[in-house]
Amino acid sequence: MSKPMARNVTNEGFDTTAHLRNAAAQAAKRGYDDFMIVDVDAHHYETEAFSEIADYIDDPVLRREAKFQGMSRGGIASMDGSYQEMTGRVIRYPERKNEKVPPEPHRDITLMYRWMDAMGVDVACMFPTPMLNIVTCPRIEVEVALARAYNRWLCDNILKTENRLKSMLYLPFNDPAACVDIVEKFGDKPGVIGFMVVATHYRSVHDNAYMKLYSMLQERNLPLAFHAAYTWSDKQLSLTNRFMAVHALGFTWHNMLHMTNWLVNGMPERFPKLKLIWIESGLAWVPFLMQRLDNEFMMRTSDAPLLKRKPSDYMREMYYTSQPMEMVDNLEALEVTFKMMNAKTQLLYSSDYPHWDMDLPMTIYDLPFLDEQGKRDILGGNAQRLFNLETALAPGKLERRAKRGVKAAAG
Amino acid sequence: MSEPVLVCKSDDLKEGAVQVFAIGDIEIGVIRHKGNCVAYRNVCPHQGGPVCDGRLMPQVEDVIDPNGLFVCQNFKEDDMHIVCPWHGYEFKIATGEHAVDPNVRLKKYEITERGGNIYVTL
């Protein structure tokens, strides 16, 4: 045997491809080259390009303010001093900013493709990271200005040229008219596959002010996604003192609230063709809420008179992203969850990379109760159908397949 | 069982240092901890992360006084962990067991130190 090759891990610079070398090994072992993987919830750190984004702010006063203030999070005592990177334990947070990239293409494109290629992801729907929190900004005009600027920057600099990168664009939900305007202006841009609302807002989803928005999205066949989040400024969640607590509850609570209002107010009957996606709340909340709402609905149908079926029947027709999938010891519970939510057609794989609780495709692929087609549908097929995506494998996959002499279409 | 494989000289692995060696297709992390060496496969049992590329961190403890009141948090420096850099799973360096659930553990390899050299047996 040849002499072992040594790496001193304390002296290595950060590189996404190296960081995810075990993910690439997983992809090769499981044969991801043979089918398309779509990641419906991934992120980039737009803070690294924030001065570029700030240039897109129309209002010159806010533009100057944005450039001066920046978009970084505050320190330990700030409302969002969240230490989600576990004070350096998850090393990609502190070290990622030092990663070397070539001058072209845009740094965000290079970094996205590095992790996607390592994991075997062909197409990713990308979202910002700190800018998700602009939903809690008390100055609504700031939220709107930043949302417009980010969406324009993303369309111009990333989505326009990159077929593998998509987005559901941020809607500034605190301003219903601005949401309508954004759908009108951006709805047919290349790479825009829907629109997204961050869940930590304080205006009910059944407010009449939003009906025009829902109608437009339904008419255009563009899905509406509720991206989970937490905020320590929420009155109840401010009672928590550890990140694990505010995150575990916050990322489910806000979406449970919106789902409940959506159902009780009969929105699925009012907008029967509007496709809803619930992002980053995991899965365990779904059977809980189905059981809770069905039980109460059967006693109080007069509280939700627009519903013609049980709440869970409508929930089973909505879409859910998979991450963070609760890795319970009880596999039976997970299997029941999959059955209850009709995961074979409604579940969409998501990684949430590069965040601390990201899930690799193996979290789906290794589930013993799914057959091969079921795995492939959740990892990509369901998203392909939902977003009308063409079958398109990553260049690296195509190269490897060509070397193997594989010509048949991926499925 | 295969023959022990020489991975490095004893002097090359100082206290608290981690080196990762590729032996064939397998990556193994070797850590010197409290004077001894331990060797683990560089794959986290959670989602397969390169656990030996991670930070060494002490166990965190909540300090509670005799009346049940919270006092502060502390690092237990005598209970060092290696932390998977992908998700933060923490494993006791001495045993490879997860900080709380001993059923979740790193794959451990036999390691010997003799004649100024460190050997790992696959």
Q: Do A4 and B52 touch (CB under 8 A)?
A: no
Distance separating alpha carbons of residues A253 and A285, to the nearest angstrom: 9
CB neighbours of A18 closer than 8 A, spacing ≥ 6?
A: A12
CB neighbours of A328 closer than 8 A, spacing ≥ 6?
A: A284, A334
> Among B21, B47, B54, whose Cβ lies nearest the Cβ of A360?
B47
Strand partners of residue A227:
A198, A279
Say if residue A410's pLDDT is above 80.
Answer: no
Q: Do A92 and B24 touch (CB under 8 A)?
A: no
Q: Do A1 and B83 touch (CB under 8 A)?
A: no
Q: Please check whether residue A150 lies inside any domain of the structure.
A: yes
Fill in the DSSP letter of residue A187: T
Which of A146, A190, A189, A188 shows the shortest CA–CA distance to A171?
A: A146
Q: Please check whether residue A3 lies inside any domain of the structure.
A: no
| A22 min Cα distance to partner chain B (Å) | 6
Residue in chain A closest to B53 (alpha carbons) equals A9
Q: Do B85 and A26 touch (CB under 8 A)?
A: no
Q: Environment class of residue B11 by beta-carbon count within 10 Å: exposed (0-12), middle (13-18) or buried (19+)?
A: exposed
DSSP string, A92-122: HHHHGGG----SSS-HHHHHHHHHHHHHT-S
Q: Do B19 and A6 touch (CB under 8 A)?
A: yes
Q: With H, G, I as helix, E, B as strand and everything else as coil, classify residue A10.
A: helix
Q: In this structure, how many other beta carbons lie within 10 angstroms of the beta carbon of residue A98? A: 9
Q: Tell me the residue range of the domain where A245 lies.
A: 36-389
pLDDT tens for each residue of A119-151: 999 999 999 998 999 999 999 999 999 999 999
Phi, psi of A27 (to 5 degrees): -60, -45
Strand partners of residue B38:
B31
Strand partners of residue A277:
A225, A319
Q: Which domains does chain B have, with CATH numbers?
A: 4-121 (2.102.10.10)
For chain B, which ranges sit under pLDDT 70?
A: 1
Distance separating alpha carbons of residues A291 and A295, to the nearest angstrom: 6
pLDDT confidence of A411, banded at 50, 70, 90? low
Split into its structural domains, chain A has a count of 1
Chain A positions in Cβ-Cβ contact with residue B55 (cut-off 8 Å):
88-89, 91
> Among B18, B43, B88, whose Cβ lies nearest the Cβ of A86?
B88
pLDDT tens for each residue of A146-180: 999 999 999 999 999 999 999 999 999 999 999 99
Q: Do A6 and B52 touch (CB under 8 A)?
A: no
Q: What is the ipTM of this complex?
A: 0.93
CATH value at residue A236: 3.20.20.140
Which residue stretches of A3-157 are H helix? 16-19, 21-30, 50-54, 60-69, 92-95, 107-119, 140-154
> For testing the chain A interface, which of B21, B42, B52, B55 should be mutated: the one with the most A CBs within 10 Å?
B55
Phi, psi of A319 (to 5 degrees): -115, 150
A304 in Cβ contact with A253 (< 8 Å): no
Which of A231, A228, A227, A226 shows the shortest CA–CA distance to A246?
A: A231
Q: Please check whether residue A396 lies inside any domain of the structure.
A: no
Q: In this structure, how many other beta carbons lie within 10 angstroms of the beta carbon of residue A69? A: 11
> Among A5, A26, A91, whose Cβ lies nearest the Cβ of B21?
A5
pLDDT tens for each residue of A6-62: 776 666 789 999 999 999 999 999 999 999 999 999 999 998 899 999 999 999 999
Which of A219, A218, A214 shows the shortest CA–CA distance to A197?
A: A214
Chain A positions in Cβ-Cβ contact with residue B57 (cut-off 8 Å):
89
Q: Do A91 and B85 touch (CB under 8 A)?
A: yes
A327 in Cβ contact with B46 (< 8 Å): yes
> Among B21, B23, B50, whose Cβ lies nearest the Cβ of A21?
B50
pLDDT tens for each residue of A381-396: 999 999 999 999 999 9
Distance separating alpha carbons of residues B28 and B50, to the nearest angstrom: 10
Q: Please check whether residue A295 lies inside any domain of the structure.
A: yes
Q: Do A8 and B19 touch (CB under 8 A)?
A: yes
| B22 min Cα distance to partner chain A (Å) | 5
Give the model's pLDDT for residue A81: 65
Return the H-helix or E-strand segment holding A250.
helix A243-264
Q: Do A91 and B18 touch (CB under 8 A)?
A: no
pLDDT confidence of A200, banded at 50, 70, 90? very high
Residue in chain B closest to A325 (alpha carbons) equals B47
